[in-house]
Every structure is written in structure tokens, then in C-alpha cells.
Structure 1
Amino acid sequence: MPAPDRADCAALPSRCGYPDATNTGPGPGTVFRRVPEDIADGPGWQWDAKAGSLRVTGAGTVLEGIEVHGSVLIDAPDVTLRDSKVFACNSYWIVAIRAGRPADGYTADGARIENNMIGCDGPPQNRSDRGVSDVYGAAKRVLVRANNIWNVSNGVSVEVEGLIQGNFVHDLGNQPGDHHSGLSNHGGASNVVFDLNTVLLSQENVSAPITVYSDFVPAQNVTISRNLVSGGSYCFYGGDSGAFAPARGRIRILNNRLSEIYGQQGHCGTFGQVASFALNRGNEWSGNVWDDNLQPVGIGNDGR
């Protein structure tokens, strides 16, 4: 739980109960088996040497304590990936959750991505596009928890239903034309929660640490709570794209901390705290504070 009375948490997030490198990723003492050097297949999964990826096709498969240099493609229901290292560079995704297309074999509802290191282990210009991605925007019951995610363009994208909690997203990579975000949803959610994550961004071309867009359908039913964030043109995007795709409502931004340590131009939100957000249709903004002094943050777009 975050320490409500302690300021300056971004300097060492775990001191205040937030995720950082000390309390995310695989547990201490985890022994890793390399894929494919030590093991190339197992119950419900196999390594595809031609594609350079590990594909999971068995329902209920558990992947634990592996080290993969390539993408992990989850195509079956109720799959768990935990206490592992997944490194991929120059790829569209590192962990892909593919659901909603049973005719194509993509049925990955109920995916659990927990306590992993997920990133590109090369230079920033070789970053992968997404760390964890709900590829077809249809995965239900997604859990993404306690992962250390870095050197990607976008940390986690979950679209319909899921809990994204306790992750540390930091040090994004960059390629020309990138427009980054830390955690994102692109519209039409039935129940997506971004809770208690640390998203510390400092790169240029960052939209926001946490973004809700109406790219596909009008945004709805997203809760952004208890996160520690920095950087970005704004700290949050709230889903309302005006006449093009007005948000349907229940975008709730509650009890977050906004830090200046890593922000562009000296504060979280170069142009303001929140974009594309209005207090209507059940939307809420409350309990959000500056990390350095615990003073309340309003929804004005005047910086600090």
C-alpha cells in the first residue's frame, strides 16, 4: 500500500510502497531455463525456431522460470507466465495475448503475466513496440502484475477487461516516429483497472504515462488509481476525443501521485495534467496529488 504521508516517492518508489526494480520481476533465487538452449518445448508450448518465438497453444499452460530471447505468443485460455525473463528487440510485441478469434486458434482469455522481466536487452533504438499487448483487443480476464518492463514503445496495452497492477514501467526505447505511452487502453473497455503501478518516463514524444483513447470505439469503464507517474505531454489522457469519439463515461482517475523528477520541461505533463477528459458521464477526478509536497492536483492544463 502507498504511504499516504510520505513525499518524494519517485526517488525510491519502493520506500513508499510503489513498484520499482526491487519488488517486481522474478523472485530472488529463481533458476532460469533458457529457451531454446536448455528446453525447446513442454506441455502446451513449443519454440518456433523459424519465427524466433515461443507459442503457447495448450489451455492452462504454466510457464515459469524460463529465459526467452524472442516473443511469447499466448493463444490459449488460462495461461500463466511468471517468474521469467522475456527479451525481444525490434519486434511488434514481447508478450502477445491473442484472443477473440477462435477460428484462427486465438482464445487467450484469462492470461496471467506475473513477476517477469519484459524488455529489449539491446540499445534504445532497437526497442520493441509493446511489452504486453492484447493484440486483437478482445482478451478477457487479463492480469498483468508485478512485472519490470523497459525499452519498449508502450509498456502494457489491455483493451476490454483486466487488472494491470504493481508494474514498474520505465526507460522506454525510441525509434523515429514513436509516440510513447506507459500503460494504455484504446476504447470500449468493459472493466480495465490500472492500479498501483509506477510509470516513470523521461523520453521525448511521450503522450502520457497512462493513456485512455477512443481510437477504436468510445472509451468507457477504465479506472486509473494509486499510480506513481512522471513525464509526458500530459500525465493522463482521459478518453474523450470530442465529436470524433466522445467517451461514454466512467473514466475514473483517483488517488494518483504526479512526480516532477523525470518529467519533461520540469514537471509531469508538459502541457497539463490531463487531456481529453471532462467531469461528466460518471467520470471522476479526485485524490490526485503532487509527489513532492502532497498538494492536490486539479484538472487544469496549466502545468504546475
Structure 2
Amino acid sequence: MKGSVSCRIPNFARAAKTMVAAAVLLVAGSSISNSSRTADELPAPNRTNCAAAPSVCGLPDVTNTGPSPQTVFKRVPEDLKSGPGWVWEPEFGRLRAVDAGAMIAAVEVNGPVVIDAPDVTLRDSKVLACNADAIVAIRAGRPADGYNADRTRVKNNLLGCSGSPEERADRGVSDVYGSAKGLVISGNNIWNVSNGITVENDGLVQGNFIHDLGHRPGDHHSGLSTHGGASNVIFDMNTVLLSQEAVSAPIVVYSDFASARNVSVSRNLVSGGSYCFYGGDTGAFAPAEGHIRFVNNRLSLVYGREGHCGLYGELTAFSPDHPDEFGNNVWDHDLRSPFP
């Protein structure tokens, strides 16, 4: 695939040697997780060309996302068929979290993970699922059906499909019913999916590396997405490098399910897509209702054309009054503003 970073499971040993020194990685990792930094601060404000090695600029890439290279995985279902609060369901070929507070850690799962209980954590694991609706499906908002996965944590995982781009999963992480509250999706390396992370209601999506999306004819890709009516969605300090151009955008705020609102898009590094951003005023419920901000993002030309981050331009679907905050978004190669 053109512009490929890695379309298979990343080689951590190779990346660690070729990217940056250990001291720089420590700084990069801390900058992603340190909540004391404000979203009004551009990462590495004096550096250019961060897309070449995002971690040098304190942004996520293959070197500082996913499990530690020293992680020893237990295979599911070969080595384990159950754990604290979770079971392998052979009839569906999936790992399912069924108990509140379940901990899923250091496992290698050849099949999707479905989370139906509250306060579940999936961390430091490798989940490979091709031709799946979602590699990690978070189901909440329907307690009568047993789906109540509020406050799910998906942290430092490898989430992808090891097959061809045509076998890609539909989504890396998905808030299936659009009702999950208190989600934290952080530090994940996601590849060979059609859409990276979809959070609809309430969640923090921070420090993820999304790249090398798989593609089938007719796919409408996005890296990070929300589809309207959010109560509090934050997309902060993610790296989203799309190699496809004539597709949606690295980060999209749509109004498909309700008017777009309450979304913050800050300190992300993005490239590719038809546009860099969709800003809220597109979909059945347009226009946007407010509390939408796009600040301190870097736009890269790595996969762009004719001076654009995307194929057609930098942004689309903003009404005259939205977003409520829009500023200090810069070209990655020279730190100029791409917007008039």
C-alpha cells in the first residue's frame, strides 16, 4: 500500500533502533499521558516534519503505543479460555467480558473482543480480527439486554487484522450503540481497519496511532469519528495517518444521529483523506449545536496532493458559527496556518 507505515504487526525491536533514543521515548510517552498539559499547547511547537517520526515530537507512533516489547502473551483460546470476568465463546469465536471490573491483560486473541459489563479494562494485549464488525466492541446503554459497558478502558493494545487489506475489520474500537459513558481509549496501535475509533457519547481518545487502513471498494474511511449528540468526546494527541486520499477524513465530527455538539479535537497529527477534518455540519441533523473545538492540530502533506492535507482541501462542513474554537492549527512541514 502506498505510503505504508506497517500493514502487519509492528516490529518493535526494529522501530526502537531506528526511531529515537530511549530518553526521547520516555519524554514522548509522558507527554501523551500527562493530563497537566493543556489542549491549548501545540506539541513540539518549534519542530517541523513530525510525521516522519511522531514520537520525537511527543506524539504516538509504533515506538510508544501498544504493549511493552517485553510483554509475554497468553493465547486465547489456545492457552486460556477464561479469566477474571471474561470467557471465550467458541460458538462466536470471540472473547467476551461479562463481569463488572473484568481485567483482560497480556493476552493474544485471534478474534474480536466484546465488552458488555462496566468498568472493564483491556490492556497490554494483541487482538487480531479480520472481517469483523469491530475488533473491540463496547456495548452499553441497553442494560435490559445485558449491555452496560460504561467506563471501559482500552489501553496500550495492538488492534488489527493480520490478513490482506480487503480482509480489514470494519472498526478498531466501536461504541456499538452510541451510549457508552466514561470511555478511555489510549495508547493503542490500530491498523488494517476501515475506521479506527468511534466514540459517540462520552469518552477520552488520546495517544493512539492509527495508520494503514484496509480498503474495500466503496469504503468510507475515517480515523477518529463521532456521529452526533455527544455529551463529551475528546480526541487529543493522536496520530492518524491515512494513506487513502479519496475517502472521508482522519477526524470526522458528523451529525448523522443528532446535531453535532460537545467535541474537542486537539493536538492531533493527521494526514490523508478527502479532507483533513469534518467539522459537524454534515448529516441528517445539521447544523451543529455548538461546543465544538479544533485547536492545535498538525496537518501533514505526507499523503496529500496539490498543497492539501486531503485530496480536496483541509476542512469541510463547518457552518459560519462553528466550531466554537478554531485556532493554531498548522502545517506540519513549516508551522504556517493552512486556513485563511
Structure 2 length-normalised TM: 0.86
**Structure 2 match to 1:263:** 304
**Structure 1 match to 2:228:** 187
**Structure 2 match to 1:78:** 119
CA displacement, residues 105-128 of structure 1 (integer Å, 9 cap, x when unaligned): 000000000000001011101000
Distance in 2 between the 1:128 and 1:265 partners? Answer: 31
Distance in 2 between the 1:233 and 1:207 partners? Answer: 5
Q: Which 5+ residue runs of structure 2 have no aligned equivalent?
A: 1-30, 32-42
**Structure 1 match to 2:290:** 249
Question: Residues 281 and 7 of structure 1: is their aligned pair in 2 closer, same or farther, counting only changes over 3 Å?
Answer: closer
Which residue type is aligned with residue 212 of structure 2?
D
Indicate the RMSD between aligned Cα atoms, in angstroms. 1.3
In the alignment, structure 1 residue 131 sits paired with structure 2 residue 156: no
Q: Which 5+ residue runs of structure 1 have no aligned equivalent?
A: none
Would you say the 8 A contact 1:232–1:264 is kept in 2?
no
**Structure 2 match to 1:93:** 134
Would you say the 8 A contact 1:202–1:264 is kept in 2?
no
Displacement after TM superposition at 1:199 (Å): 0.2
More helix by share: 2
Displacement after TM superposition at 1:278 (Å): 2.9
Question: Residues 282 and 211 of structure 1: is their aligned pair in 2 closer, same or farther, counting only changes over 3 Å?
Answer: closer
Which residue type is aligned with residue 191 of structure 2?
W
**Identical amino acids, percent of aligned pairs:** 65
SS, match of residue 14 in structure 1: helix
SS, match of residue 206 in structure 1: coil
Question: Residues 269 and 26 of structure 1: is their aligned pair in 2 closer, same or farther, counting only changes over 3 Å?
Answer: same
Would you say the 8 A contact 2:256–2:285 is kept in 1?
no
Would you say the 8 A contact 1:230–1:267 is kept in 2?
no
CA displacement, residues 53-95 of structure 1 (integer Å, 9 cap, x when unaligned): 0010100011100000100000000000000000000111100
Would you say the 8 A contact 1:180–1:205 is kept in 2?
no
CA displacement, residues 169-213 of structure 1 (integer Å, 9 cap, x when unaligned): 000001121000000000000100000000000114420000000
SS, match of residue 99 in structure 2: coil
Taking the TM superposition and a 5 Å limit, the aligned residue runs for 1:265-280 are 267-280=308-321
Which residue type is aligned with residue 280 of structure 1?
D
Distance in 1 between the 2:157 and 2:285 partners? Answer: 38
Distance in 2 between the 1:162 and 1:38 partners? Answer: 33
Residue range with higher mean Cα deviation, 78-87 or 233-242: 233-242
Displacement after TM superposition at 1:28 (Å): 2.6
Distance in 1 between the 2:286 and 2:182 partners? Answer: 26
What is the number of residues matched between the two proteins?
299
Taking the TM superposition and a 5 Å limit, the aligned residue runs for 1:214-229 are 214-229=255-270
Displacement after TM superposition at 1:264 (Å): 4.7
**Structure 2 match to 1:155:** 196
**Structure 2 match to 1:165:** 206
Distance in 1 between the 2:271 and 2:282 partners? Answer: 23
Structure 1 length-normalised TM: 0.96
Which residue type is aligned with residue 115 of structure 1?
N
Give the one of 68, 71, 74 matched to 1:27. 68
Distance in 1 between the 2:111 and 2:259 partners? Answer: 34
SS, match of residue 192 in structure 1: strand
Would you say the 8 A contact 2:245–2:311 is kept in 1?
no
In the alignment, structure 1 residue 177 sits paired with structure 2 residue 252: no
In the alignment, structure 1 residue 283 sits paired with structure 2 residue 324: yes
Question: Residues 282 and 19 of structure 1: is their aligned pair in 2 closer, same or farther, counting only changes over 3 Å?
Answer: closer
Q: Which runs of 4+ in 1 moved over 3 A?
A: 264-267
**Structure 2 match to 1:235:** 276
Residue range with higher mean Cα deviation, 225-234 or 274-283: 274-283
Residue range with higher mean Cα deviation, 82-91 or 279-288: 279-288
Would you say the 8 A contact 1:258–1:268 is kept in 2?
yes
